Every structure is written in structure tokens, then in C-alpha cells.
């Protein structure tokens, strides 16, 4: 059975690149009837951010990615957490010590710094020279130490990656990396190998930054007599031609885009296409469609540049297709933030805005007109295109009040009739009517829609107020 995993570090929000890695692992598992595992790699506890695990779990749920197993927490699967599996890693580290594939290193921080200053590019295997009795004596004396992997000093390693083909690395370029730190906690380089094997991971999908260090992991698999997984390394998502998206550089994460009003699946849909192409070149795909057509063969060797404008466009397609009630529910938090407590029909406002916004935070701009009526400049009635001004507006106010008092049904036809009776163009009357109702040159819909939004009584009140200001 295909088994994949997503193994983030709990160092903050879920980065877009991390979400894409999770997505590809999820899609591959689902496509092949396999299992998708969530594992929290928290071995570097100095970098752990409080609450980050909950953020990761929540983000995956919002993105529509459920994981299949783990320790039962509160009646549901929780993720595997490496810091809770410390004794397991120590057990396998001891096996590597016994076989000579690892050794204890007692070098002080100062010695390592001096080694680096001398021009050495990697650890010099100094502690490999210590005899067994000396090692045991130092351990018994409580001297701090780490456990290092014993990497061959010569030769090469070749392995196959499903995206990049055969990859060859010279052992002389690899460091005797630390497997177990002095506090007994494993490093990522060690724990990920142990966990991937014990959790039966068949396909290891991860970032290309691990492409050249994978031979170190293969040495561990071989030393322990384990089968290697299939490797699938992914190119990074780029901010531009030379800079990759980076959490450390403050680039937006999944939750940031949700806060901006992107829909979860629109984000998922877009990032799926950053580094992978469906055979038919479709751009808008549901999660089921992504699952059905996902393949490793579609993954690209080249990097992709993140284009928020393109993601906005894709998001707008999803917004336009939403049932109005669903859009209204999604828009509600943005009404609360940008235009709360107005005496308007918010449900109708949603009908007006849905075809006019690309992301939900566009609601801020699209509802700015709600604050423009009080004290607006009467010069706004001047419109060169329609040849209108305040004097023409003043001459129309009584008729506009009278037609509005009759209600919204048939209002459009009645306003047209006003224009015809005065020898005016329809646009002249509608421009004056919109300005008189809202004080805004741009609104989501014209005068008739504004009457539905504000209500007849409020609109009559506004027109009479404008009539007074115009002095007629």
C-alpha cells in the first residue's frame, strides 16, 4: 500500500510551499488508495512556536486534507510527534554504534569553532580515534557527547529520484552529521529515517533542498537493513526569478491568504499547479479532480513563480460559482470588519457584491460607498460625460422623491419615464439619482439596487436631505 507523509516543523504558520508538499503527498496517497500521515518534527525545540501544531492541523483541515492515522487524542487521530518518540531513536542509534556506522563525539563547541576557523569544511572524525574503553569512561564521567553518523571518506552514492532521475553524490562532500544531540534528542536527519521506516512510508515527497543529502539517509537505511523509500523531490515555489518564497522572509502563509479572503480550495487549486501540470492543462479543478488526474509524471523539474494576481483570478471563479447563501456566510466576517451595524439589507448586499469581488477582502473597497453620503460635495453631480450638474439635480429632486415613494417595483421604468418627459438621457437621471442616494460615483449596482439595499424610507429621507442642500 502507498503510504505518504507530511512532516512539518512547528515553527509558525503553514507556509505555501509546505502546504503544496502536503497536497502532493495527499493527492498521491488518495489517487493510489493509500494512507496519508501527519508527523510533527519538533526535534529542534528551541525553534518551536507555541500553538503551531494546532495551526498546522487546522490549516490542513481547512484545505480539505484529512490524515489517516496517529495517536488517539480526544477521540480522534492526532499527529505523530517526534519529541514523544525519543526512546525509539536512541534504540536505533545504539544499533548504529554497535555496527560502527555511528560514533560518540565529545568535541567541545570551542574545538568545533576552531576547526571551522582553520578552514575545514566539515568535521574531521577526531572522535573516531577514541577506543571503546575511553568512550565508556567519558560517558560514565558524565561528559556531554553527541552521536555522529560515520560516513565513508571516499566513493560515491547514486540513487534514483522520480523527478530528477539518477542523482550521484561524492561522500567526501558529506558531513558526519549528528544523529543524537547532547540532550538525547534526535536531529531531523536521523529521526526522519527511523520514522519513515517504522511508519511504512513508501514514497518520500519533500523539498529539493534534501536532494543532495539523501545519500546520508540511504546509508542509514542500508546500515539498519531497511528498504529505501521512493524519493520524489520538489522544486521550490519562487517569489520571483531569484528568490524563493520563505517563511523566514515573511512571505505570506496559508492562513494569511485566508484572512485576505481567498477561499481555501482556490488556494489549494492554485498551488497544485505550481510545479505540476495535468495532462489536459485545465486550471480549475476540484479536490476530487486533482486527485483523479494527479501523477508523479506531471511534476516539473523547474521552479514556479507564485503569482498572487493569478490566484485572485482563480479565486474569483470560485466566488462566482458559490451559492449565494454560502457566499453570504463567507462574507459575514468581512462585513463585521469593514462595514458593521449598517441599517441595510446585508443579504441583498451579498447578491450585489458576489459577481464584483475577486477575494473577500475586496468588500472593504466595494462597500466604501456606505460611508460617503454624509456631507458629500455637491460638485459630484457635475459629470461631463452626461452633462449634469447641481442645477439639473436640483430641478429633478421633486420627481425623484415622488417616484421613490412609490416603491422599488417598476422604479427603473419610472425613472426612464422621468428622463423622457424632461428630454434627458436615461444616464443623466440615473447618475444624479445614484449620487443623491449615496454620495458616491461608484456603487455595486445603480439607483434601483441602492433603494433595495437601503430601503424606500431611507432613500426618500436622503433625497429630501439632498434637495434641502441644493436649496430647492
Provide the 10 A C-beta neighbour count for residue 446. 15
DSSP per position, 141-196:
TT---EEEE---SS-EEEEEETTTEEEEEEGGG----EEE-TTSPBPHHHHHHHHH
Question: Could you tell me the three cell numbers for 116?
Answer: 571551522
The radius of gyration of the chain's CA atoms, rounded to the nearest angstrom, is 32
Query: Nearest Cα to 79, choosing from 111, 52, 102?
Result: 52
How far is 2 from 455, CA to CA, in rounded Å?
Answer: 59
Cell of 247: 517563511
Q: What is the DSSP string of 101-125?
A: SEEEE---HHHHHHHHHTT-SS---
Please give the grid coordinates belonging to residue 3. 503510504
Angle in degrees, CA 337, 338, 341, rounded to 5: 80
Given a contact cutoff of 8 angstroms between Cβ atoms, the answer to whether 389 and 397 are in contact is no
Kindly give the residue spans of alpha helices, DSSP state H, lying in 339-367: 346-353, 363-366
The answer to whether the CB of 40 falls within 8 A of the CB of 60 is: no
Catalytic residue among 62, 86, 247, 310: 247
Q: Which three cell numbers stand for residue 362?
A: 475586496
Q: Judge whether 426 counts as a catalytic residue.
A: no
Q: How far is CA 162 from the centre of its chain?
A: 25
Place of cell 580515534: 129
Angstrom distance (rounded) from CA 261 to CA 89: 43
The values of phi and psi at residue 241, to 5°, are: -65, -25
Which residues are catalytically annotated?
247
Amino acid at each position: 500500500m502507498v503510504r505518504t507523509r507530511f512532516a512539518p516543523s512547528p515553527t509558525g504558520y503553514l507556509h505555501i510551499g509546505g502546504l503544496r508538499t502536503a497536497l502532493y503527498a495527499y493527492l498521491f496517497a488518495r489517487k493510489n488508495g493509500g494512507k496519508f500521515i501527519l508527523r510533527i518534527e519538533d526535534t529542534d525545540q528551541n525553534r518551536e512556536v507555541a500553538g503551531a501544531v494546532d495551526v498546522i492541523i487546522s490549516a490542513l483541515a481547512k484545505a480539505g486534507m484529512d490524515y489517516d492515522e496517529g495517536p488517539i487524542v480526544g477521540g480522534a487521530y492526532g499527529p505523530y510527534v517526534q519529541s514523544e518518540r525519543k526512546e525509539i531513536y536512541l534504540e536505533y542509534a545504539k544499533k548504529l554504534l554497535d555496527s560502527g556506522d555511528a560514533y560518540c563525539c565529545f568535541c567541545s563547541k570551542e574545538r568545533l569553532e576552531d576547526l571551522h576557523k582553520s578552514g575545514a569544511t566539515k568535521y574531521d572524525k577526531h572522535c573516531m580515534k577514541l577506543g571503546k574503553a575511553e568512550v565508556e569512561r567519558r560517558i560514565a564521567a558524565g561528559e556531554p557527547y553527541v552521536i555522529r553518523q560515520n560516513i565513508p571518506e571516499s566513493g560515491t552514492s547514486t540513487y534514483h529520484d522520480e523527478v530528477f532521475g539518477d542523482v550521484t553524490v561524492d561522500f567526501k562532500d558529506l558531513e558526519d552529521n549528528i544523529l543524537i544531540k547532547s540532550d538525547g534528542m534526535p536531529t531531523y536527519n536521523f529521526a526522519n529515517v527511523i520514522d519513515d521506516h517504522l511508519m511504512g512510508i513508501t514514497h518520500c515527497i519533500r523539498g529539493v533542498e534534501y536532494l543532495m543529502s539523501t545519500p546520508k539517509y540511504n546509508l542509514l537505511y542500508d546500515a539498519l537493513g531497511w528498504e529505501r523509500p521512493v524519493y520524489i523531490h520538489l522544486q521550490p515555489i519562487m517569489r520571483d526569478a531569484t528568490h524563493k518564497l520563505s517563511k523566514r522572509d515573511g512571505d505570506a502563509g496559508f492562513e494569511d491568504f485566508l484572512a485576505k479572503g481567498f477561499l481555501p480550495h482556490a488556494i489549494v487549486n492554485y498551488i497544485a499547479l505550481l510545479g505540476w501540470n495535468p495532462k489536459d492543462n485545465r486550471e480549475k479543478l476540484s479536490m476530487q479532480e486533482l486527485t483523479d488526474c494527479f501523477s508523479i509524471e506531471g511534476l516539473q523539474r523547474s521552479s514556479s513563480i507564485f503569482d498572487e494576481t493569478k490566484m485572485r483570478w482563480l479565486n474569483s471563479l470560485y466566488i462566482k460559482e458559490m451559492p449565494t447563501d454560502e457566499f453570504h456566510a463567507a462574507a459575514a466576517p468581512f462585513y463585521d470588519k469593514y462595514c458593521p451595524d449598517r441599517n441595510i439589507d446585508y443579504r441583498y448586499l451579498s447578491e450585489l457584491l458576489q459577481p464584483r469581488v475577486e477575494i473577500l477582502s475586496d468588500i472593504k473597497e466595494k462597500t466604501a460607498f456606505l460611508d460617503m453620503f454624509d456631507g458629500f460635495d455637491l460638485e459630484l453631480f457635475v459629470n461631463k460625460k452626461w452633462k449634469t450638474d447641481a442645477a439639473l439635480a436640483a430641478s429633478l429632486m421633486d420627481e425623484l422623491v415622488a417616484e421613490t415613494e412609490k416603491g422599488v417595483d417598476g422604479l427603473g421604468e419610472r425613472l426612464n419615464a422621468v428622463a423622457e418627459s424632461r428630454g434627458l438621457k436615461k444616464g443623466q437621471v440615473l447618475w444624479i439619482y445614484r449620487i443623491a442616494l449615496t454620495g458616491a460615483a461608484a456603487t455595486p449596482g445603480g439607483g434601483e439596487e441602492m433603494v433595495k439595499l437601503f430601503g424606500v424610507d431611507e432613500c426618500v429621507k436622503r433625497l429630501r436631505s439632498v434637495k434641502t442642500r441644493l436649496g430647492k
